[in-house]
Amino acid sequence: MLNDPVVRNPTEGEQIIIRLLIVTGLLCILNFSYFFFQPQYFGHPLLFTLLCIVLAYGLIRDLTLWYYYASITVPETPELKRHFTVDILTTYFPGEPYDMIVNTLTAIQNITYPHTTYLCDEANDPYLKELCAEMGIVHVTRTVRVDAKAGNINNALRQATGEICLVLDPDHVPQPDFLDHIVPHFQDESIGFVQTVQAYYNKFDTVVAKGSAQQTFHFYGPMMMTMNAYGTVNAIGANCTFRRKALDSIGGHAPGLAEDMHTAMLLYREGWKSVYVPRILAKGLVPATITAYFKQQLKWSRGTFDLFVKVYPRIFSKLTWRQRLHYALLPVHYLAGVIYLIGFFIPILSLVLSEAPWTGNFVYFLIIIGPVLFTSFILRFYIQKWLISDDERGFHIVGGILEIITWWIFTLGFVYTIFDKKVPYLPTPKEGEDVTHFSLLLPNLAIGVLSLGAIAYGLPRDFTPFSIIMAGFALLNAAFMFFSVYLAFAVTNETGNLRERLPAPARTLGRHAKRQLLWALDTMTLTVRKLAPLLLVGVLVSALTLMSIYDRQGFAMIESVPTTVELSTTPLLGIFYPAGPTGLTSLERVTELEDRLLTHTDIISSYIPWSGSADPEAEMQHLQDIVERGSTPLITWEPWVSHFPGSDSMAALAREEQALSYIANGRFDDYINAFAGRVARLEKPVYLRFAHEFDNPDYPWSPRGNNQPEDFVAAWRHVHNLFQQAGAKNVRWVWNPWKPKAMQEYYPGEAYVDFVGLTNLNYGPLEGGPQSNSFTDLYAPFAAAMEDLPGEDVILAEFGTLGTPAEKRDWLVAARRSILEDHPEIRAIVAFNSAFDRNIPQGADYPGDVLDWTADPALLFNPETAANFVSIREAECWAPPAASTYLALPDRPVRAVGYKKGEGWSTHQYVPSRANLEHDFSLMREAGINTIRITNPGIYAHNLFTISQEYGLDVIMNFWIPETHDFVSDTLELAELREQILEKVANNRDRGTLLHYSFGNDLLARLADLHLQPNLHAQRIAYLNWLGGLIQDIKKLDDRHPVMISVLAAPGVERVIEDFHLLKGPADAVGLIVGSLTSLERVRHLTEQYKGRLVVSDIGIEPLRNLRKSEESQYTVINNWQNEWRRTKLTFDGLLDFRARRTPTFTAVANYWNDDKAQDVEIPEIAVLPPALQPYVGGIYHYRAMVLDEKGWVPADSLALEKYTFEWSLVKLDTFQNPIALKMLKEEGPVLKLAMPPNHLQYRVLLTATDGRYSRSAQSPLLPR
């Protein structure tokens, strides 16, 4: 029984997992350190240094914990073959409760192993003397009180004669079998002491007791078990058993505030060994109040530091290397006080100084620190297998908070050690102290108040995501500090009393929440234990993957965002084009069609019967192939049910009857769910046409099969709901009636239908009608019936005609013209291009077995006749203000610049913090700029408006409309965009520096790149309607600031302005976007013709310089302040370079607006001389900086240019040679050595010469062309 420990040794597999987790953690720490300490991320020197100290401590502490997890060992209890004499000593200090000491003495006397009990009574208490006499206990006292507890024990040891000595604190109650598990280990003559678990019977009495106990769980569990293997077990004076010979070898119990640690150090010095028995053999008291806890921690902190300074150096040479490391690591825990103090001041100083300690992206920081934290989390929970009892598992949050608020106690112990200030040895209070002196709370309250003050001061001054994060840390720190006030009051600290004061429902809810939390904790613990190897692999893969994506210097991974959108007709065009009598379109035929007509098929139609396929996986692969080629599948899903297992035993289903009723009642849910899951996995839009032509008697799901309209509606809704539950939210539901008269009673509801599908097939005389039915004849009855339904878009799911080739040509051309001109509700046409249709109308006089619907696809995809252009019609919402008065732009010069920092902040390399804004705005004043134009600033709006006002700059609030919207159909997205813009107007309309609102991109021009006529005109009218309504709403919110729209100053802009009445709508002004190739004569003419209403709203510096000063508009906006640097976009059109230094363009603008008073750039013209060699991937190539002087182009290294620094960067290009990414190289100087990257044509070398304030740049291909 004694050889059956409470916890066991790890198995070989478990030990491997633990060590792999530790190795993974080490790799993650190295990975974090490498990327975190990149020089480009260093922030404010002081804050960065403090942050490095905190992070370094955290990593060292993690490594320390992992070191103590690496070799868990649980010793077996040997068989006892000899008898030892044992003395048990416990102490009493004046003021300790009698009940406690009596209870302990009674328990000691009940220990079954023969022993002699000694009470070391510092008070010489008469009651205790009498008690000892009654119980047969040796009462020992002393008159000369030296060395505190150690001296008291040593005094008793002078009388004691036992071979073994057990020292118990007076609050620790031993079990009767205590010595049975301890004494056998002393048969090994090298063992100097045996330590057991220090457990507590009051650990759930108060919040402080709970937290204090939580701090010990891992220590007395896996950490002390690992010390078994290292030979570094700590002696804990509360319940430690010593060999008397070992104690005598060091002169008895060692004195000090940490007397047990001191004793163990000296025993190790003398070569004695130790054993840790992970069993709870006694339980004592843990500090239950904040005062008692603080007293205990001050004593331990001061004692540990004192031993490290005074004893550790003297015994260092006589310890093993494990023991040397152990006693060097123990003080690390108490250094936490200083580290917490530094950690508290990082957010405080960051907020007050408006500076950041680290300038990398916060998401990037989470990516590099995440693997470290996750590995630590996995290891912590996996290692909890070796906690002593099940109730010790958990996050131990209270223990962590308690440690944080004890920062000043730990720090005090550290400071006292430096100044060698004595701390009196007093036993840890054994009874709760109801009153906490206010002075004990002052340090925490001071930090809390400072943190809140920093938030109140810093956030309004610099409102950025990083300052918000810092404010969050400061607020969290303040919450921790004020939590100490809660802990200071015994009444609220007694959790039982607190619970009793809560209402009954709250107590019930609390118990339920606790059960759920414990269940979740158990589940998580078991999951981590079982899946630790998989989680380990996941950590490594995630870390490597995310770092390869986000690493700034790994920019070769960056790919360009498509900058062009393929032209498309409207509506979408699709086809059903089988190669035989099958329901699947032949993708080979579609490919041949696309190659021949130079087109793309938007939709590919397939007919899939229920359970009728011999190979459902082949069908899904067919759909996957459609998706992968960039088309959208249209599935006509036919509910044939007689083939299902079990259908033959049901007469109705065997006859294909009542299928819809059975579907609605769930009989086929398994099949539907499986199909829905497969469709969901396509992860692309899919049109689903379920039970089409439900009123067509040719199909058994019609009334012919005993199905009623209500059966269809119920079945449709049921199938729709199952798809939603299966996650198939990529499905677009196409509801397809056969005849118009059935539409009302079969309609399942607007929430269940995305499109109305129509069968638009011209059978001509086969249906008993005229020789041919036109498209209009076939469609008109449906159009009339749809007027009574919600405004659903239409898909012509089966579109075609019978007849001769000439008849088919005429019918299709006329049908297409009618659709384009008169039916914008038709969103897609799917040609029924099948020659294998056996559905011949009953009674029709038709000689063949199949109907041939095939026609030349060119008639649909590339028609010979173009649709007639629709004349310009006015947009209803594009009307002048009710009073026909326009707000005028300012009558003073507006010299503005586009300021893009803050726009798309998550992908932008620049942060508009206060420091950056102050730098930029001071330079703007230097350049003569008096206004900035900001676009979608988001969270940075506060900073931009507030700091610009400090520098006397006005602000143009610019809105950029995404160019991918379909203004005819994207009603929900456009409504959401409208609300976003109006919200920004409402939030900023009262800003004192706001000049006006602006819509900065020319959608009228851009739409021409995206759409063909007549859809182009429909898009433009819809856009103007949407924009006009939005401007009217803006004016309702803010009638004080003008609104401007923008147009590209391209050929034909005059007609655009006139035809679309741009100056007669709700906008107060129109801005011209002037490109590098724009005719300046056109600009002069337009600004003169529409003086005051038309201005230059976007222009580069070169066109601006070519405008004579007298011709310059009062209103001018230069397009960009600083070279843009986004994750997938670069520009070189800024007045500042990528490192915010003045460029020659800056000087040109400053001279232009300051009458040539600005300082000229003294940096000479530069160029790059690339090597004239064959490209070899990985080969080292030399690039030389060239400088232009009076002799011509000469190598920079041949001149004395010490005042200039030459910086090198690598620029990545997309397939259109647009720059998309930048990598700043570490190498500086006039010569660059570069390893040739793959695909060298996608890169350019960027050389920058700078004197620190000004810079000049030049680019070159990697190799001459």
φ and ψ at residue 1148, rounded to 5 degrees? -65, -45
The pLDDT tens digits of the residues spanning 158-196 come to: 999 999 999 999 999 999 999 999 999 999 999 999 999
Chain centroid to Cα 91, Å, comes to: 56
Our answer to whether residue 657 is catalytic in this structure is no
In this model, does residue 1 exceed pLDDT 70?
A: no
pLDDT computed for residue 562 by the predictor: 41
Residue 485 CB burial class (10 angstroms; 0-12, 13-18, ≥19): middle
In this model, does residue 256 exceed pLDDT 80?
A: yes
Two tokens at 532?
């630790």
The pLDDT tens digits of the residues spanning 1217-1249 come to: 789 889 889 889 999 999 998 888 889 999 999
Assign residue 803 a region: left if phi > 0, alpha if psi is -120 to 50, beta otherwise? left
Return the CATH number of the domain spanning residue range 573-861: 3.20.20.80
**Distance between the two ends of the chain, CA-based, in angstroms?**
86
Question: Please, are residues 539 and 374 in contact by the beta-carbon 8 Å criterion?
Answer: yes
CA angle 73, 74, 80 (to 5 degrees): 135
* Strand 686-690 to 731-735 pairing: parallel
Task: State whether the Cα torsion 324-327-333-336 is positive or negative.
Answer: negative
Residue 1249 DSSP code: E
Our answer to whether residue 122 is catalytic in this structure is no
In this model, does residue 405 exceed pLDDT 90?
A: yes
- Tell me the residue length of the chain: 1265
Question: Please, are residues 1087 and 1097 in contact by the beta-carbon 8 Å criterion?
Answer: no
Which amino acid type is present at position 1031? I
Residue 793 DSSP code: E
> Comparing 720 with 503, which gets the higher pLDDT?
720
- Over residues 575-581, the mean pLDDT reads 91
Radius of gyration of the chain (CA): 41
The Cα-based distances of 660 to 712, 718, 768 in angstroms read: 6, 10, 31
Q: How many helices (H) and strands (E) does the chain have?
A: 40, 36
CA atoms of 1008 and 813, how far apart (whole Å): 24
Question: Please, are residues 289 and 206 in contact by the beta-carbon 8 Å criterion?
Answer: yes
pLDDT computed for residue 1051 by the predictor: 63
Q: How many CA atoms are closer than 13 Å to the CA of 268, on its beta-carbon side? A: 29
Closest CA to 184 of 75, 74, 82, 115: 82
pLDDT computed for residue 544 by the predictor: 67
CA atoms of 758 and 145, how far apart (whole Å): 103
CA atoms of 896 and 901, how far apart (whole Å): 15
What does the domain layout of the chain look like in residue ranges? 573-861, 894-1153, 1166-1261
Using pLDDT thresholds of 50, 70 and 90, give the confidence band for residue 730: confident
The pLDDT tens digits of the residues spanning 997-1032 come to: 999 999 988 886 676 545 667 888 999 999 999 999
CA angle 915, 917, 918 (to 5 degrees): 65
Catalytic residue (choose from 693, 792, 903, 1124): 693
In this model, does residue 552 exceed pLDDT 50?
A: no
Which amino acid type is present at position 700? P
Is there a common fold for 573-861 and 894-1153? yes
Residue 206 DSSP code: B
pLDDT computed for residue 891 by the predictor: 85
pLDDT computed for residue 612 by the predictor: 53
Coil, helix or strand for 1221?
strand
pLDDT computed for residue 1111 by the predictor: 52
Task: State whether the Cα torsion 1247-1249-1250-1255 is positive or negative.
Answer: negative
Question: Please, are residues 275 and 195 in contact by the beta-carbon 8 Å criterion?
Answer: yes
Question: Please, are residues 967 and 1019 in contact by the beta-carbon 8 Å criterion?
Answer: yes
In this model, does residue 867 exceed pLDDT 60?
A: no
Catalytic residue (choose from 122, 259, 494, 798): 798
pLDDT computed for residue 1207 by the predictor: 96
Question: Please, are residues 167 and 242 in contact by the beta-carbon 8 Å criterion?
Answer: yes
Closest CA to 334 of 68, 57, 49: 57
Please determine, looking at this structure, whether the domain spanning 1166-1261 carries the CATH number 2.60.40.10. yes
What are the strands of the beta sheet with 199-200, ordered from one edge?
Answer: 173-174, 282-284, 199-200
The pLDDT tens digits of the residues spanning 1076-1096 come to: 767 788 788 888 888 879 999
Helix axes 805-822, 775-786, angle to 10 degrees: 30
Provide the b/e sequence for 551-578 (b: ≥16 CB within 10 Å).
bbeebbebebeeeeeeeebbbbbbbbbb
pLDDT computed for residue 1052 by the predictor: 65
- Other C-beta atoms closer than 10 Å to the C-beta of 746 total 18
Q: Quick one: which H or E segment has residue 1254?
A: none
pLDDT computed for residue 390 by the predictor: 82
Two tokens at 921?
């705005």
* CATH top-level class of 894-1153: alpha beta
Out of 215-219, 260-264, 569-573, 930-934, least confident range: 569-573
pLDDT computed for residue 869 by the predictor: 32
